[in-house]
Structure 1
């Protein structure tokens, strides 16, 4: 039975000095943005719903930044890199659709950038036309791109493993969690507007699933030798 190297896990969890410095810079910037929005915005920070609305996007963004900086895909052949890239792009496309970033468009072509919501939710790019609608919410866009990048790294590692790629990717079962959560919580169709996404209380569940998925894709405890 395979054992987990607790020493290596401890090293992975222990932040480096540069990580702490950059983390402090990021957090300070986020606090400044939130204070600026609090001064000029209309959202109620003191309510439970308002507090979650302000915090959840930065959980996605900060976890994404940490995972991307800490992940260095292994060297691989051109063929394996192309396969990994294709799977990652396809995974991002599925996430974008089930997560409401992309959907079918209706009516005349319209385009606008919304600044009405707190940082992380905005600036949201809203585009409708040519049969396609886009609701590009920053924290979701960053989060889904991060998951796709981690899937790419997972595919590369699986291709190099003694176990064949398909078996190695069994550790990526958690990749489906964000997709299933989006469907189960009714986020599909939220591309009709930012307000629909915000009014849906399911983003708390989605945030928890996102964090767990990033952790499993980063450490891959069930797929590494």
Structure 2
């Protein structure tokens, strides 16, 4: 399988889609702040949240999956869904119930990108659906889907290649490492001093590597 050896020059259509993602996210963030009680908080956290959404939308709208058989696409989809599930658990979208925590469904007006977050507390599990994480993890899973389709191998070999790829494992390992030191509350976003910085850096590097895919399949 041929793999890229250099970062490709973005096409005009790709730049237009990136501009669309930026403009749409900024407009939605402005409307969100205007009509809710949400605040920006520390500026860098709001920037990180918006960055996750912008990059995630760009990936989802700009990635062109190569043609492949239906069977290959099904196997790739299964691997991508499994990857998203791992990210969801490691990244805190799905957590274990907290004793004494708030039950039921509610909306948390967090800073732009992280909010509005749909939060559900139940007896079996909690859900913390922040736009930045949901869109960002969906983008990574879609890039994994694209990678496996391009590899056009069997499901087993694709899965082995996926998790031997360090860039694919970084978001999971980083989320697990930061959550060890994070808060145990339902709205914890792996709250450590630099967890936002680290997770955003890992997310961006992973997007670049999965789009570029140096050495994958060699």
TM-score of Structure 1 vs Structure 2, range by shorter chain = 0.7 to 0.9
* 1:105-132 residue CA offsets vs partner (Å, 9 max, x unmatched): 25584221112x2221111111121411
CA contact (8 A) 2:33 2:112 kept: no
Which residue number in structure 2 is paired with residue 110 of structure 1? 104
Task: Work out which of the two has the higher radius of gyration on C-alpha atoms and give 1 or 2.
Answer: 1
Query: Are the equivalent residues in 2 in contact too, given 1:87–1:152 (CA < 8 A)?
Result: yes
Residue in structure 1 matched with residue 210 of structure 2 by the alignment:
217
In structure 1, stretches of 5+ residues that fail to align are 45-49
Task: Classify 1:219/1:14 alpha carbon distance in 2 versus 1 (closer, same or farther; 3 Å).
Answer: farther
Alignment of 1:119-198 (within 5 A): 119-159=112-152, 165=158, 169=162, 172-186=165-179, 192-194=185-187, 196-197=188-189
**Other structure's SS at 1:186 match:** helix
CA contact (8 A) 1:34 1:119 kept: yes
Contact 1:178 1:209 survives alignment (8 Å): yes
Query: Structure 1-normalised TM-score?
Result: 0.78
2: distance between equivalents of 1:197 and 1:138? Answer: 12
**Alpha-carbon distance in 1 for matches of 2:25, 2:105:** 31
Distance 1:167 1:111, change over 3 A: closer
Greater helix proportion: 1
1:32 matches 2:24: no
Structure 1 runs, 4 residues or longer, greater than 6 Å off: none
**Helix, strand or coil for the counterpart of 1:127?**
strand
State the TM-score, normalized to the length of structure 2: 0.81
> How far off its partner does 1:24 sit?
5.6
Task: Find the aligned partners of 1:24 and 1:140 in 2 and give their Cα distance.
Answer: 17
CA RMSD of aligned residues (A): 3.2
**Does 1 or 2 have the higher relative contact order (CA < 8 Å, sep 6+)?**
2
Aligned length: 212
Cα distance in 1 for residues equivalent to 2:5 and 2:191: 43
Of 50, 66, 71, which aligns to 1:74? Answer: 66
- Structure 2: state its 5+ residue gaps: none
